[in-house]
Amino acid sequence: MFLDALLECEFEGPIYLVNPRGGEIKGLKVYQRLEDIPHSIDYVISTVPAKASLELVEACAGKGVKAIHFCTAGFSETGEEEGARLEAHLVEMSRRKGIRIIGPNCLGIYCPEARLHFAREFPKESGWVGFISQSGGNARTLVSQARWRGARFSKAISYGNGCDLNESDFLDYLTADPKTKIIALYIEGVKNGRRFRDVLEKAAKEKVVILLKGGATEEGARAASGHTGALAGTDVVWNSLCKQLGIIRVDSMAELADVIITLSFMPLPRGRRVALVGAGGGNSVLIADEFVKRGLEVPHLPQEIINELREFTPAAGNILRNPIDYSQTMMEIEKMVRAAGIISGWKGVDFLIGFLNLVWPQPSFARQMDKLVAMILEKSTASSKPMALVLEPGILPEQAKQLFDLTQKCVDLGLAVYYSHASAAKAISLVLSHNEKHPVKGIK
């Protein structure tokens, strides 16, 4: 996995492989011992068994290694005494040898600028999101999935048990990193509460920080201790910490992605009043509920705007209130764009959400959809009203394909795309609430 990722991203430095069996893998010589490598080494990625880890540190010390990323598991996270003891020895020995450790029990570092990847599907381009994740799986999921909605990362760090370098070290680093504008955290527990609070406070003053806390419940905390040996702390403490310091706290990986996309691609609306424009009658009723439940406002279109729309929009099958269900006239692009212009020009509204259920579109519909979206976006931009899109996915593979293709076109236009109304509403509401106390600047 690591070798594939490094070859795929065209890592520029030399790569040495080590395995007692020797031979060759993908055209690269495999050294039987680390000591056999005829050069000094900067960085080691280790998948040796836990019991061989001390020996590896010893060998690395002789080669000038500065840091080892131990993917290797089987330490304190096992909950067994032996693993904990081994981890303590590992820390003690590496400190003595002047080697820093990332992990153990993690996927390590993704830094596209340095062409250091840990999954072959990661994007090569850098972005402004820095992600610190105690879980490798969560790091991989976020990077590899949010990329299709336009997110790019400065760094993503999976640090597992964090026996040496821990969450506070990485957070400190990203706070100072000029390439990072948004810091996302997936944390199960912290090593040193006092220090973490200090670096978190500093981070939140300089950048937007989003936190997903794993182990929010007692049972989740127990799972966290089994996963990375972390002490999770009580949920109430985390909540007040976030409130105090101005951290956006999210409840799931999906929400984490949604908030990153909102911050990255949706210019901040001036207020909470949304115009919901799209296709689907029953849908539009439920959408209004979803947005209002999450603290946004869906103001009634005033009669003069309705009259203006009615001049060229048939009443049957369209609903000219708010949400505006334009189902019957949607593909008459000229009318739709004109309607969007009128709605986004209305001073009673702060931003626009387009909605479309991709469960049963016509092929011709999907073909023209990106043109339509681009023209509406132009109108909303002209009125300085931010706009985003909710595309509801279907289960069928061809529906998923259509969703994916349309998403890519919208991402090319610089639009935030969400996959449910609830998630759009929650993410936008979180960002607006955050901004009321801690004005967000300079992302989009």
Nearer to a second copy, 128 or 355 (CB): 355
Q: Which amino acid is at 153?
A: F
Tokens of 439: 């004005």
Binding mask 175-194 for a second copy (x = CB under 8 A): -----------x-x------
Candidates 390, 422, 421, 425; CA nearest to 406 is 390
Nearer to a second copy, 214 or 386 (CB): 214
- The residue within the footprint of a second copy, chosen from 126, 239, 381, 420 (CB under 8 A), is 420
Size of the site for a second copy (CB under 8 A): 86
Question: Sign of torsion, CA 112 115 120 125?
Answer: positive
Task: Confirm if 124 and 82 have CB atoms less than 8 A apart.
Answer: no
Stretch that binds a second copy, among 92-100, 141-149, 191-199, 242-250 (CB under 8 A): 141-149
Q: Which 290-329 residues touch a second copy, going by CB under 8 A?
A: 290-293, 297-298, 300, 314-317, 319-323, 325, 328
> How far is 22 from 29, CA to CA, in rounded Å?
8
> How far is 233 from 213, CA to CA, in rounded Å?
10
363 binds a second copy (CB under 8 A): no
Nearer to a second copy, 294 or 379 (CB): 294
Q: Which amino acid is at 320?
A: L
Q: Residue 378: exposed, middle, or buried by beta-carbon count in 10 A (0-12, 13-18, 19+)?
A: middle
357 binds a second copy (CB under 8 A): yes
Least distance to a second copy, CB of residue 291, Å: 8
> How far is 245 from 209, CA to CA, in rounded Å?
10
Q: Is the peptide bond prior to 323 cis by the omega test (within 30 degrees of 0)? A: yes
> How far is 393 from 418, CA to CA, in rounded Å?
10
Stretch that binds a second copy, among 133-141, 330-338, 377-385, 427-435 (CB under 8 A): 133-141
Q: Which 102-131 residues touch a second copy, going by CB under 8 A?
A: 105, 119, 121
Least distance to a second copy, CB of residue 201, Å: 25
Nearer to a second copy, 237 or 315 (CB): 315
Task: Confirm if 100 and 134 have CB atoms less than 8 A apart.
Answer: no
Residue 374 has a CB neighbour count (10 Å cut-off) of 15
Stretch that binds a second copy, among 22-30, 59-67, 163-171, 218-226 (CB under 8 A): 218-226
Q: Which 9-28 residues touch a second copy, going by CB under 8 A?
A: none
Candidates 150, 147, 94, 97; CA nearest to 122 is 147
Nearer to a second copy, 13 or 281 (CB): 281
DSSP string, 237-254: HHHHHHHHHT-EEESSHH
- The residue within the footprint of a second copy, chosen from 24, 81, 219, 311 (CB under 8 A), is 219
Task: Confirm if 224 and 215 have CB atoms less than 8 A apart.
Answer: yes
Q: Which 148-177 residues touch a second copy, going by CB under 8 A?
A: 148-149
Least distance to a second copy, CB of residue 327, Å: 8
404 binds a second copy (CB under 8 A): yes
Q: Which 248-267 residues touch a second copy, going by CB under 8 A?
A: 252-254
- The residue within the footprint of a second copy, chosen from 37, 54, 84, 223 (CB under 8 A), is 223
Q: Which 268-287 residues touch a second copy, going by CB under 8 A?
A: 280-287
Strand ranges in 148-207 using DSSP code E only, listed in sequence order: 153-158, 182-187
